[in-house]
Structure 1
Amino acid sequence: MPTLRALELLVAVLDHGSLTEAARRLHTTPSAISHQLAALERELRTPLLHRLPRGVQATAAGRAVEADARRAVEAAAAVTRVGRAVAAGTAGRVRVACGEVLTAPLVAPVLARWRHEHPDVVVELAEFASADALAAHVEAGDADLGVIPRPRGWTGDVHLVGHEEVVAVVPPGHPLAGATPTGTTTVAGVAAHPVVGLTPGNGLDRWLTGLAADAGTAFDVVVRTRSASTAVHLARAGAGVAVVPVSALGGDGTGVVRFDPPLGRDVVALLPTGGADALAGQFLRDLLARGAPQLP
């Protein structure tokens, strides 16, 4: 099979019309070019060039293979360009898996910056309601990094993005609003009122159920939803008290009651086995610089 170097030399000779000029442009010698082209002609079993007193001309075979030779050289150059661009973090693709409630407050601002700073990079975003499902997605190698509350049983690479506060959301005039001098509540205080819960099996639901049990009580869940953001809307509409991370608030602090002592959870970035490539590593650094969502 012809070597890429031999095809590159053939194209250079055809472009410049002589071995001497091609050698000068490629920083080699005419004899070295002649040797490689002779080997190429032996492999193809036909002359590719007429050696003339003043330069060279393509033979019929040389003209026939010229287009394919150029495509091969251009394709190799494209491989080099793309590979180096990806290594430098200026082109390519990065696949991000995100807990759906974190998309707007955490990932979206980073994506907006990337559209300006990395215009040749394609970011593919997959959203998950379940932390365990997202972790499995990353572990399977289907994402370059995942952004999520810390999952159970993850043994891979973990980077702490920040600590996110968990708050209660109540409708206007609710007894929990201003019920204490500090304007805070407790898990037991929330349990004394109807609660908007999350779908059973949701990681946040398991955690909150455990907190209530530790406080010697249980939440009176009157309606459930799979989305913490929807729970906020239901609470503000009067359906019950929602206990949610601040990322679910949508930048609106209406009806928010904080806990005393404070409640919160870690937001982390997960990397698959083998770590991050250049693009995923840069995206991770930008996420860490932004940090976990905070109260509006």
Structure 2
Amino acid sequence: MATLRQLEYLVTVVDCGSFTRAAELLHVTQPALSHQIRALERTVGGPLLERLPRGIRLTPMGRAALPHARAALSDAERLQAAARRTAGLDGGELEVATVHSVSLGPLPPVLKAWRERHPEVRVRLREYPHAEQLRAAMAAGQADLAIGPVPDGWEGPVRELGVEEFTVVLPSDDPLRDDPLRDEPLRDGPLRDGPAAPRVRIADLAGRAWVHYAPGNGLAELLDRVCAEAGFQPRIAVRTEQTAAAPLLAAAGLGPALVPANILPPALDALLLRPDPPVRRTLAAYTRTRPDRLTTAFADLLAAQVQV
């Protein structure tokens, strides 16, 4: 059976790109490091690394094994942290992973409340532009808790938090302000806590050039899908890598933007329209295995405070 030391050695060699640098970082001799890697290769039944004149490269077996090695090391670190927290030896650290829109919208007040209740517990926040990147990070053991869209086929515990609503942002003087639809509230209620939101058919915006998101941002795929369902492909006025910039660019007149309603700046001078039909996604908190008491406490606070 592979040992944690052998897995640590493998990951370090890969990250350093050479046995020499890895041995220096690990404070072991290069022969001892090579011996442990060969022992690991015997255990798994084949070569993991190809020794090159200048460096190393992973074999196909090594590429398959590396994510599991990283996950095992992360799990071991969290096991030690959870044991310390349970024993009350120190406050420990809670690692929370999420997508950009959640870290901009519902998460900050939750973190504030958590800090007030548990000032001794450090929170490490990992943010990802795409829900699949979030899922992959959680599967690799890089966080204690993930917060984002419900992951398809996730085998670990999943706790739904609520439905995230999206809105279309336009400049405050946009001609759609006088559209007859603005006086017809959407049948399912108000936008956030304000008055009934005016609505707009996405198809009516087919001729516009949009504020779009950079490739790799999950909201880029969502916008493309919503527009495709309305029968068109959006023209692009500008692409932004920053989710928070989209409503500001739209308010400045660059084009309509589709954004989560919970990230809108409170004083944004813009026309806010509810898509008809509504655009929504369900958010959830999920873990790889049954969460420890501290992670459960954070999830409980999250479920009580998040309003999406």
- Do the two structures share a fold, i.e. TM-score over 0.5? yes
Q: Partner residue of 1:206?
A: 221
- Is the Cα–Cα contact under 8 Å of residues 129 and 218 in structure 2 kept in the other structure? no
Deviating runs (4+, > 4 A) in structure 1? Answer: 79-82
* Counterparts of 1:151 and 1:226, CA distance in 2: 23
Alignment-mate amino acid for residue 137 of structure 1? A
Could you say what secondary structure the match of 1:147 adopts? strand
Structure 2 unmatched ranges of 5 or more:
1-81, 185-197
1:193 to 168, 184, 208: 208
Residue by residue over 1:41-100, the C-alpha shift from the partner in whole angstroms, topping out at 9 and shown as x without a partner, is xxxxxxxxxxxxxxxxxxxxxxxxxxxxxxxxxxxxxx99853338xxx93221111212
Match for 1:184 among 199, 209, 214? 199
Identity of aligned residues (%): 34
CA shift for structure 1 position 174: 0.8
After superposition, the Cα gap between the structure-2 partners of 1:159 and 1:252, relative to the gap in structure 1 and judged at 3 Å, is: farther
Aligned residue identity for 1:248:
I
User: Residues 211, 116 of structure 1: CA spacing in aligned structure 2 closer, same or farther, 3 A cutoff?
Assistant: closer
Q: Identify if the C-alpha distance between structure 1 residues 80 and 164 changes in structure 2 by more than 3 Å, giving closer, same or farther.
A: closer
Q: Structure 1 length normalisation: TM-score?
A: 0.65
Q: CA shift at 1:153, angstroms? A: 5.1
Partner of 1:238, secondary structure, is: coil
- How far residue 244 of structure 1 moved from its aligned partner, in angstroms, is 0.9
Which position in structure 1 is the counterpart of 2:110?
110
Change (3 A) 1:270 1:212: same
Match of 2:296 in 1: 281
Change (3 A) 1:199 1:104: closer
Q: Is the 8 A contact 2:110 2:306 kept in 1?
A: no
Shift of 1:216: 1.6
Structure 1 position 84 matched with structure 2 position 87:
yes
Answering whether residue 153 of structure 2 is matched by residue 149 of structure 1, we say no
How far, CA to CA, are the matches of 1:82 and 1:206 in structure 2?
A: 40
* Aligned counterpart, 1:240: 255
The residue type paired with residue 175 of structure 2 is P
The 5-angstrom pairing of residues 163-178 of structure 1 reads: 163-178=163-178
Residue 189 of structure 1 aligns to a residue whose secondary structure is helix
2:281 is aligned to 265
CA–CA separation in structure 1 for the residues paired with 2:283 and 2:161: 5
Contact (CA 8 Å) 1:166, 1:244: kept in 2 or not? yes
TM-score, normalised with respect to structure 2: 0.63
**d(CA) in 2 for partners of 1:202 and 1:150?**
16
Q: Quote the RMSD (CA, aligned, Å).
A: 2.3
Q: Which amino acid aligns with 1:217?
A: F
Q: Give the stretch that moved more between structures: 158-167 or 173-182.
A: 173-182
Comparing 226-235 with 163-172, greater Cα deviation is found at 226-235
Mapped partners of 2:302, 2:127: distance in 1? 16
- Distance of aligned partners of 1:261 and 1:249 in 2 relative to their CA distance in 1, 3 Å threshold: same
Whichever of the two has the greater Rg, that structure is 1
In the alignment, the residues of structure 1 paired with residue 111 and residue 232 of structure 2 have an alpha-carbon distance, to the nearest angstrom, of 42
Note if contact 1:144-1:280 (Cα within 8 Å) is conserved in structure 2: yes
Could you tell me which amino acid in structure 2 is paired with residue 230 of structure 1? Answer: A
Are the aligned partners of 1:177 and 1:257 in contact in 2 as well (CA < 8 Å)? no
CA contact 2:199–2:275 (8 Å) conserved in 1? yes
How many residues align structurally? Answer: 211
| Partner Cα distance (2:303, 2:147) in 1 | 11
AA of the residue aligned to 1:173? D
Preserved contact between residue 96 and residue 124 of structure 1 (Cα < 8 Å)? yes
Contact kept in structure 1, 2:209 and 2:255, CA below 8 Å: yes
Q: Following TM superposition, by how much is the alpha carbon of 1:178 offset from its aligned partner in structure 2, in angstroms?
A: 3.7
- 1:194 & 1:84 partners in 2: Cα distance? 57
